[in-house]
A and B are shown apart, each in its own frame.
Chain A
Amino acid sequence: MTIKTALMGAVASLALAPMAMADGHEGERGRDGDLRIIYWQAVSIMNPYLSGGTKDLEAASLVIEPLGRYDPQGNLVPYLAAEIPTVANGGVSEDLTSITWTLQEGLLWSDGTPVTSRDVQFSWEYCTAEGGGCAQAAKFEGVTSVDIVDDLTVTVNFGAPTPNPYGPFMGAQSPIIQAAQFAECLGPRAPECTDANFGPIGTGPFVVTEFRTNDVVSFEANENYRDPNRPAFATATLKGGGDALAAGRAVLQTGEFDYAWNLQLAPEVISDMSEGGVGTPISAFGSLVERIEINLTNPSSDLEEGIRSTAEAPHPFLTDPAVREAMSIAIDRELLVEIGYGQAGRATCNLVPAPAIYASDNTACLTQDIDRANALLDEAGYADTDGDGVRETADGQPLSILYQTSTNAVRQDFQALIKEFWAEIGIETELRNIDASVFFGGDPGSPDTFQRFYADVEMYANNFDGTDPQAYLGAYLCDKAPRPDSQWQGENINRFCDPAYDAMWAELAQTGDLNERGRIGAALNDMLTADSNVIIPLVDRGRVSAHANTLGGVVLNTWDSELWNAADWYRAAE
């Protein structure tokens, strides 16, 4: 891209501006000048296979692309592939052990050479090469071979039936890299190929022109990009560093940048900044859910170690579904969202709030109902017999619980509010907050980890990687409960155990059809939440980014890179 054509593009876009507005911002490539993006975590490498950092994955997504991506709803969209292979169209074998991808015809790398099935096969070889530390190895787990069928077709073979075969070559984490460029960089030599790692040859809308580690990356439009009218920007600058507050100001208040990533700020702060009218905060939701987990076992310190908080000692009253339901409906989730997350949160009753096909339609918990909660507890026989405002069980034990979470301003606010909600239904709550590095540290020797769960209820957030919740739901199987002989490891921290749940999960693991998977996934979700209230979901936490009002075409996506559709971005009129 020369300056002359860039200028001509700019002139043309000025002349065509009214027309462009009319026909959806189409025009020739490079018409809109420079795109300025700020990531408050600076980019350190452009090769996703050598870095797990989100900022690196997303920067790389401007240059190198996978066969298919996820759209904002979590659906699969073909990128380099001609279509998404499924069992229905014959791309995935009936026994779920192989998937066959076909590349689009006529694809070129940014250096002008054609993209072939060898590049796809090489990408797998690169990540699984002996002696290399591939950051995305999990994506290729279970892959036994990648076979070239012809120039445009490859088959990925799995060692066992894989109902979700979209791990390899889907999404920002496993893009296709050029075999010619990385041929000498296999295994232990991968980090030595500095030029390739900092400026990979790609198929994406942009090409790296200058890479300054942990500072600025400069791009120009890819002349060989498959759509001749895209990208709309002739150059792009990705600046890194600073903090979320400064990044937010640069887009929302001063207008120095067009796009700011991941603004983890208090809702009041973001809304104050966006009042300037220079930019707009946008939010999108993934699968991150802030929830209260209920301990079905007894954490009392009177019990000896080894029995405390294990299945051998059932909890005196939290094993009663009525108590758990009362605790759930006593919470005003809308208020929690307003206090803690604003635009970046929404009330939810689901453990798996997305993607759409897995999301159950639970809404029963969304309205706070103190009266019904009280009625439930009355019916179940918990009455306040000694007049101290706290109910007791039939054998006189007060409904007094210890509520722990990690140290975090928003979580402590939530604790204060929920303590009051529960006080209204006669449940007394003692609060405890634990330093996050200890709480999530997983040290089997520490009594304060979330797995050890020496408390009656605890609150934290969790999500799942990618769009398939199978492994995530599998965490609540009977045998995944943390206990002394598992070194207190395991994700089933409620010590939930239901043979019906285990059976249904086994069914999910053998089902290939997406709609059927969705139905089973939603049913499993309901067994944990709406039906039993073992997990009390509170807030579906989204991500907030911001774009300048002059930047059009931005669609925030939490399932893939935020820059997934940067090719479609354009300069909008003020």
Chain B
Amino acid sequence: MTDPMTNMPAMSPPRAVPIEKARSQWRDIWAQFRTHKGAVWGLGFLIFITLFVAIGPLIWDVDATKTDIRNKNMRPFYTLLWDSEARFTWVKPLGSDNLGRDVLANLMQGGRTSMAVGWTAMILAVVVGTLIGVLAGFFKRIDGALMRFTDLVLSLPLLPLLLVMMLLFRDTLRATFGPETGIFILIVVAIGLTSWMQTARIVRGDVLALKEREFVLAARSIGTPSRRMISRHILPNVLSPIMVSATLGLANAIITESALSFLGLGFPSDFPTWGKTLFDSIQYMEEYPERVIWPGLCISFTVLAVNYIGDGLRDALDPRIRGQ
């Protein structure tokens, strides 16, 4: 078990067919991953939406915040299917909002921010959560302190905490990095530092259980140092709960960012994000449902896709499931 690259396949039941050539572990994982339909779809969608927000603005080169009062309240092209008299112009294929801002450009620009915030905050939360969880689980001496610290952070109410952070750091960050980057850093750090606790608790629980298993005992008996023990034996085995909490974390970060922007604690109002576009459009929902539907679909499909990928990855990474 010291080298999963070579030993993992040996764990699967002996097969009748002799092994033709050396198979890499990652190839196996990919093969398993592909059998999960949802995960494949999710990956496809995630690639699509990432390209959409990353490359989209280069092709559809429209300023998302530019108002255009003459072309306000335009409907998307497909409304022509049932309503030939709908206000529509090809300049705004997905319509425009009440100030004439282009919805398509808003989705792309907003997606960039939402995805960037979501990924960065999620990675930050997972790294912090895993670190604390593994340390607490593995080293008994610091377990109590770390877990009490986790409880402490868990009991902090998010919004007042963010208000205080905004108060203390906004001006400094704004002066150093400019309004948008400054707020970006602040939001990412704020969300990241307030959502790692669940991951830490789950990881600690798993590590505690793993620590008592025979292979860990075996590894210890041949003198594996703690550092290697964690990286070789513990981490690969807690990867699946980490993956699951990462996917949930991404969804959570996107949604928290929306809520913050809505409260005026987030990005400036002329800086679109999916969540803010959605919130701004709620009062026009009856008249112009598309303005709510598109950003809503973007958020929920992205979150769903990531969840499916997480599900597929968990199955693929688990040697007990893989190959069955």
The answer on a CB contact under 8 Å between A415 and B269 is yes
Within the complex, what minimum Cβ distance (angstroms) separates A410 from chain B? 10
The answer on a CB contact under 8 Å between A409 and B280 is yes
Q: Is B99 an interface residue (CB 8 A)?
A: yes
Known: A409-B283, A417-B99, A446-B167. Contact between A301 and B175, CB under 8 A? yes
For A435, the chain B residues whose CB sits under 8 A away are 263-265
Q: Is B50 an interface residue (CB 8 A)?
A: no
Q: Is A420 an interface residue (CB 8 A)?
A: yes
Q: How far is the CA of A339 from the CA of B72 in the complex (A)?
A: 10
Among B155-186, those with CB < 8 Å from A are 163, 167, 171-172, 174-175, 179
B270 contact from A335, A431, A438, A446, Cβ within 8 A: A431
The answer on a CB contact under 8 Å between A432 and B268 is yes
The answer on a CB contact under 8 Å between A412 and B263 is no
Q: Is B98 an interface residue (CB 8 A)?
A: yes
B interface residue count range (under 10 / 10 to 19 / 20 to 34 / 35 or more) = 20 to 34
The answer on a CB contact under 8 Å between A430 and B179 is yes
The answer on a CB contact under 8 Å between B287 and A272 is yes
Within the complex, what minimum Cβ distance (angstroms) separates A80 from chain B? 44
The answer on a CB contact under 8 Å between B287 and A416 is no
Nearest-neighbor residue (CB-CB) of A338 within chain B: B69
The answer on a CB contact under 8 Å between A335 and B287 is no
The answer on a CB contact under 8 Å between B99 and A413 is yes
Q: Is A346 an interface residue (CB 8 A)?
A: no
Among B177-219, those with CB < 8 Å from A are 179
The answer on a CB contact under 8 Å between A431 and B163 is no
Q: Is B65 an interface residue (CB 8 A)?
A: yes
The answer on a CB contact under 8 Å between B264 and A433 is yes
B269 contact from A301, A420, A431, A454, Cβ within 8 A: A431
For A412, the chain B residues whose CB sits under 8 A away are 269, 280
Q: Which of B66, B99, B269 has the most CB of A within 10 A?
A: B269
Q: Which of B67, B69, B262, B264 has the most CB of A within 10 A?
A: B264
Q: Is A268 an interface residue (CB 8 A)?
A: yes
Q: How far is the CA of A415 from the CA of B268 in the complex (A)?
A: 10
Q: Is A448 an interface residue (CB 8 A)?
A: yes
Q: How far is the CA of A407 from the CA of B65 in the complex (A)?
A: 18
Q: How far is the CA of A266 from the CA of B98 in the complex (A)?
A: 11
The answer on a CB contact under 8 Å between A268 and B287 is yes
Nearest-neighbor residue (CB-CB) of A436 within chain B: B264
Known: A272-B287, A438-B163, A447-B167. Contact between A416 and B98, CB under 8 A? no
For A433, the chain B residues whose CB sits under 8 A away are 264, 268-269
Q: Is A226 an interface residue (CB 8 A)?
A: no
The answer on a CB contact under 8 Å between B67 and A266 is no
Within the complex, what minimum Cβ distance (angstroms) separates A375 from chain B? 24
Within the complex, what minimum Cβ distance (angstroms) separates B67 from chain A? 6
For B175, the chain A residues whose CB sits under 8 A away are 301-302
Q: Is A401 an interface residue (CB 8 A)?
A: no
For B284, the chain A residues whose CB sits under 8 A away are 266, 268
Q: Is A434 an interface residue (CB 8 A)?
A: yes
Q: Mark A373-415, 1 if CB is under 8 A from B, else 0.
A: 0000000000000000000000000000000001101001101
For B179, the chain A residues whose CB sits under 8 A away are 430
For A413, the chain B residues whose CB sits under 8 A away are 98-99
Among A449-502, those with CB < 8 Å from B are 454
Q: Mark B268-286, 1 if CB is under 8 A from A, else 0.
A: 1110000000001001100
Within the complex, what minimum Cβ distance (angstroms) separates B268 from chain A? 4
Q: How far is the CA of A302 from the CA of B172 in the complex (A)?
A: 10
The answer on a CB contact under 8 Å between B98 and A339 is yes
For A339, the chain B residues whose CB sits under 8 A away are 69, 98-99
Nearest-neighbor residue (CB-CB) of B183 within chain A: A432
For B265, the chain A residues whose CB sits under 8 A away are 435
Among A256-307, those with CB < 8 Å from B are 266, 268-269, 272, 301-302
For B65, the chain A residues whose CB sits under 8 A away are 416
Within the complex, what minimum Cβ distance (angstroms) separates A406 from chain B? 8
Q: Mark B283-300, 1 if CB is under 8 A from A, else 0.
A: 110010000000000000
Among B98-153, those with CB < 8 Å from A are 98-99, 101
Nearest-neighbor residue (CB-CB) of B270 within chain A: A431
Q: Is A419 an interface residue (CB 8 A)?
A: yes
Known: A266-B283, A409-B283, A438-B163. Contact between A417 and B264, CB under 8 A? no
What are 10 A-B residue pairs whose CB atoms fall within 8 Å in the complex? A301-B171, A406-B264, A413-B98, A413-B99, A432-B269, A434-B264, A435-B263, A435-B265, A446-B167, A447-B167
Seen from chain B, the residues whose Cβ lies within 8 Å of a Cβ on chain A are: 65-67, 69, 98-99, 101, 163, 167, 171-172, 174-175, 179, 262-265, 268-270, 280, 283-284, 287
Seen from chain A, the residues whose Cβ lies within 8 Å of a Cβ on chain B are: 266, 268-269, 272, 301-302, 335, 339, 406-407, 409, 412-413, 415-417, 419-420, 430-435, 438, 446-448, 454
Additional A-B contacts beyond A301-B175, A407-B262, A412-B280 (10; CB < 8 A): A301-B172, A335-B69, A409-B280, A416-B67, A416-B269, A417-B67, A431-B269, A432-B269, A434-B264, A446-B167
Closest 4 CB pairs of A and B: A407-B264, A412-B269, A433-B264, A301-B171
